[in-house]
Amino acid sequence: MKKLSLEMLRLSTNEILERSQMKKITGGYGSSGPCCIHLRQSGSGAYLGRSCGFSLERARGDYFMTTQYSNGTYASGYCCASC
C-alpha cells in the first residue's frame, strides 16, 4: 500500500492533524468493512486479538452465533467505531 504525504495536500497549519489523531482515523470507502471481531482460542478461551474488515452485520452475526472458525478460534465480541 502506498503511503500518502500530507505535504501533497497543501493543507494550512490549522488543518493538519497530530499523529495521535491520524492513528484514530478509520473508515472510508474501501473493500473492507468498518468492524473488528475479537478472537479467543477455543478450549482455553485465551484472547488472541482482533481481526478487522467486517461489515456490522457479519461482525454482529458471528458474535451472537458464537461462530467457530476453522483455525480453532471463535468470535468473543466485536467493535466498530469503538475499536
What confidence tier does 82 reach under pLDDT thresholds 50, 70, 90?
A: confident
**CA–CA dist 83, 17 (Å, integer):** 19
What confidence tier does 66 reach under pLDDT thresholds 50, 70, 90?
A: confident
Average pLDDT over residues 52-64: 92
Q: With contact defined as beta carbons under 8 Å apart, do 16 and 6 qualify? A: yes
Domain housing 59:
31-83
**Residue 8, domain member (yes or no):** no
Q: What is the pTM of this model?
A: 0.58
Contacts of 55 (CB under 8 A, 6+ apart): 33, 34, 35
Render pLDDT for 20-42 as a digit per residue (tens, 0 to 9). Answer: 766 665 554 444 678 999 999 99
**Residue 11, domain member (yes or no):** no
Render pLDDT for 8-19 as a digit per residue (tens, 0 to 9). Answer: 555 565 666 677
**CA–CA dist 59, 33 (Å, integer):** 9
**Residue 69, domain member (yes or no):** yes
| Total domains present in the chain | 1
**CA–CA dist 7, 76 (Å, integer):** 41
